Structure 1
């Protein structure tokens, strides 16, 4: 049996739950070091990972701890420097999405990974989400012919609780929620259509949360300190928001993809329900998901008719245990295999970069009143190198 992979974790906030999934001492991998500037987060770390885990306040102290890999789940604006430092140290990196908050930062990260030949993996876990993989399989099987259009409506029902109490609400740390939250869906749209965005336009605004004047958020608080689905409703009743709120809570994006497919993405952070709805239209039919985790199904329409609530084919989505319908478990398993052996994965650093590039261009369009924006492609030599699987 191989020795356990030695894993580090930088950032002990909400998404650091991913580290718990790889902490399996004696079974292939274990968290041996972690870093976070927040003393409260550090105090909880020993109980999570054991007394032998090295706990510190600076991620730089982890670069010489003999780690095989590190998981980076820090605020978005910190990703570039942290990821680059670990790549330069020759330590494989799992970067939570989005890879960075600008196209230029993403390109810098990819350049360093290619130059140092250090393995880079980006946490686009929705490529492992059962409802998405079900739709992808149907498309590949030819269930709706050639894809011509993809529509995504993203109802972010807990948006106020998750994104307007802390750093997410500050564009200097996110660029905007069209990128921060939308990176997942933009990547899925690209994956389902088999192409990437080349031209985008967007509209949107700060419709609800900007009018709330109670900005009493205290540094060091986490989502668990304020989240209350039962009582934090309607959205304008929220209190204790972030002092800076300058990101949009409603956005609508149109995309023209390189292969000629058209797509749209709509995001709202004050709906009562929380889920994603995808419609994919091809030359021989269309498919649509109803629900996106437990109990979800995908309906496929392939013959002409009037309104029908169910399609000609109904496919139940099979979830497994773990966060995001089992996607978190699957993505961390894929990451561990990638650290050991390299090779192709469902996720892709280049695709992650392309999602950021589209999200940044759309945010610029939105803030310019909807002016069309061109999405700069990944340099071909970079895309070619990563296509070989970083083996």
Structure 2
């Protein structure tokens, strides 16, 4: 029997709802909730047999087995907590929340209720990332000591500066919103979470563009174009633009690994470059989806040299190199049987905590800040795969 899925938020991330709609193959979307009239009309067209509503309580009472929280980031916590407390399994899109406090509220709600919580960090299923992790686990570069990530966000002007993402009251900042993926991958490849962070950043380009307009009711597909170039010629930015378009972050991890993350939203190309350095070599990816490869150096060279080995990243159909399909499959299996998964609510909280503290650092004096620790009982519970619990 198919897992019955309710979707809350059918806008920017609605493609994940389409991934989850697999009638007769394990899951189907049976209800959609959205406050926006256009979104409800599109949901009705996409899922003609589903209940479409603007009332979250109505969706939760409809008999769904699980809820996918695909709302804007600052609404994740309120929806996820209500669903978990209603006894419904939750898929929460990344970032888990926009504050450490809200992350902890979500984790505590799942712990109290025993309802299953899954976070949509799809990059843990991306072939380029899983290949790099396998090489690390196979000992090909020895013990990891440093991880560097450069994120070239070539579509930044269209993706993040024409809607709510550009307003820190909704997104906090792009070091958190966009960086949550990369911070999670850095932690995963390094085998530890950040305990101390420091950052600098600025609004270097998009803050100087005066052409602004309210795009309420629009979708990214209404304005996105590769012809919107160079960045200084962008038009129709969000009325509020107060997030950084370039940021640089340093991290100290609990296991002693040092890491850095750079993010720029006005580059001509769009991809991520990870470099992982160990005691016996290093690996680095070139490209992260189509035609990508991972290069490995594990012999000494007098100067720059071709990689000692090169690994072609397997290609797959679907979003994010096939990762979205794997993500949804893992979620549906988790709803049915529980257990440990590649994604982790604890890791999702760690990514948010690092991003929030780094944002505080870059908007302050750039000082190093300690990342608040999480309750050990919550860590043990989620690391054990959220075992069945009965709370009296």
Distance 2:174 2:219 in 1: 19
Cα displacement (A) at 1:307: 4.0
Q: Is 1:234 the counterpart of 2:230 in the alignment? A: yes
Distance 2:210 2:368 in 1: 34
Q: Tell me which residue corresponds to 1:60.
A: 57
For 1:14, what is the secondary structure of its paired residue?
Answer: coil
Q: 1:171 aligns with which of 168, 171, 191?
A: 168
Distance 1:96 1:22 in 2: 13
Cα displacement (A) at 1:14: 2.1
Q: Is 1:271 the counterpart of 2:299 in the alignment? A: no
Q: Is 1:113 the counterpart of 2:128 in the alignment? A: no
Q: 2:281 aligns with which of 254, 271, 285?
A: 285
- Correspondence 1:177-192 to 2 at 5 A: 177-192=174-189
Q: Tell me which residue corresponds to 1:148.
A: 145
Q: Tell me which residue corresponds to 1:225.
A: 222
Q: 2:243 aligns with which of 237, 244, 247?
A: 247
Q: Is 1:80 the counterpart of 2:80 in the alignment? A: no
Structure 1: where are the runs of 5+ without partners? none
Q: 1:366 aligns with which of 358, 362, 382?
A: 362
Distance 1:219 1:46 in 2: 20
Q: Tell me which residue corresponds to 2:390.
A: none
Could you say if the C-alpha distance between residues 16 and 307 of structure 1 is closer, same or farther in structure 2, counting changes exceeding 3 Å? farther
Q: Tell me which residue corresponds to 1:381.
A: 377
- Correspondence 1:195-234 to 2 at 5 A: 195-229=192-226, 231-234=227-230
- Correspondence 1:271-350 to 2 at 5 A: 271-308=267-304, 310-350=306-346
For 1:216, what is the secondary structure of its paired residue?
Answer: coil
For 2:13, what is the secondary structure of its paired residue?
Answer: helix
Deviations 1:107-159 (A, max 9, x none): 11101100000000000000000000000000000000000000000000000
For 2:118, what is the secondary structure of its paired residue?
Answer: strand
RMSD: 0.9
CA contact (8 A) 2:162 2:215 kept: no
Moved over 3 A (4+): 306-309
TM-score, with length taken from structure 2? 0.97
Count of matched residue pairs: 387
Distance 2:123 2:244 in 1: 23
CA contact (8 A) 2:3 2:28 kept: yes
Q: Is 1:9 the counterpart of 2:7 in the alignment? A: yes
Distance 1:309 1:179 in 2: 35
Distance 2:305 2:178 in 1: 30
- Correspondence 1:10-25 to 2 at 5 A: 10-25=8-23
Cα displacement (A) at 1:58: 2.6
